[in-house]
Amino acid sequence: MLREKKSFKISIHLTTSLPLPAERDHLRPRIDLIVFMIDIKSKYSLKNVEASLAHVDANFFLGKVCFLVTGVGRVNYCSVEMNAIWKLGEMYCSPVLFCELELEGIRNATAQRLLRMLQICAGHVPGISALSFGTLMRNSTDD
């Protein structure tokens, strides 16, 4: 994601589990988007994400959380049920994106998509807020 062309600065904080250590709270900038990466090939990954979700403040789920499922290319070998992932997305009202990290083209495309989401969540697009975008992604009809 850092390699993509963009007009704003981004900083990425990687971690394997939440909560983030409390010592650096005052130094941390505002978090605009949380991406939970789930590897479809390992059950442990899903459990880890589920445990970490409990530590996330409820405000983030108003459009600032997204699940990224990797390892789609080996969907025949996945040990995590797809249903479990859909249910997770529904329960936490967040979109689920799919990606295969092994292939460069897909990696780039997914990075661009995440950047666009980040732009919206950070408020750079006038007229669309993170919340409205989150609801857009979930409903496909305008009732």
Partner 1 sequence: MERRRRSETPKQQVHHKNQTDLSAWRKGKKSDPEKSVQSHQSPNDEKNESKQGSLEEALSYFEKVQERVSLKKNNALQKHLTTVESIALEKGLPPEGFDVLLKVALSGKLADTVNTRLLKSLVPASVIPEDSVVSSVSLLCVSKCSASTQLLFLRWLITMFDFIDHKEQLHALYGFFFSFLQDEKMCPYVCHLLYLLTRKESGESVQLYEMEYHFGMQSHLQALLSLYKLFCPELVTITLPGKMKTYFKNSEGPWKAVINAVRRRNQENSAVLKPLVLGTAQPQSRKRKWNTQVLIPASSANRSNLEEDREKQLVNLYSMDESFPVEQLQTFPQLLQNIHRLEFPSQMGSVLTNPLLLHYMNCIKDESIYLRLYYWMGQTLQEECTWCVVDNSQYEEEFKAFLETVYKTECFLQEGFSSCEEFLYKSLPLWDGFCCRSQVLRLVSWIPLSSFSEMKSHLYDPLVQLFFTSSLYFKCSVLESLKELLQNWLNWHMIHLDSESDSQAQSSNTTLSGLVNTVAELIHFVGWISTVALRLENNPTFLLYFILDFYEIVCDMYLRYNLPLLIMPPAGIFYPALLSMDSVSLNQLCYIMYRYRTNLVAAKENELSKKKILQFKFSSQTYQEYNQYIVAMVGCLWTSSAFQKDTHPQGLRMDDELLKKIAVQDFKSSFNIVYHPALMGYALLFLQQAWPDDTTFNFSLIKGKRWNWYLEYLYSQGLKGLKVFIESSINRVSQASHNKTENMQDEKFI
Residues in contact with partner 1 by the rule CB under 8 A: 72-76, 95-100, 102-103, 105-106, 108-110, 112-114, 116-117, 120, 125, 127-128, 133, 136-137, 140-142
Q: Which is nearer to partner 1, 42 or 112 (CB)?
A: 112
- Residue 3 or 26 with smaller CB distance to partner 1: 3
Structure tokens at 91: 């329960």
Distant-in-sequence contacts of 46-50, Cβ < 8 A, 24+ apart: 46/80, 46/84, 46/85, 46/88, 48/16, 48/17, 49/88, 50/88
Least distance CB 77 / partner 1 (angstroms):
10
Min separation Cβ 14 and partner 1, Å: 21
Please identify, using beta-carbon distances, which residue of 49 and 117 lies nearer to partner 1: 117
Least distance from partner 1 to the Cβ atom of residue 40, Å: 10
* Residue closer to partner 1, measured from CB, 93 or 136: 136
CA separation for the pair 141, 143 (Å, rounded): 6
CA angle 7, 116, 81 (to 5 degrees): 150
In the complex, least distance from residue 26 CB atom to partner 1, rounded to whole angstroms: 33
Tell me the longest C-alpha to C-alpha distance in the chain.
Answer: 46
DSSP state of 141: S
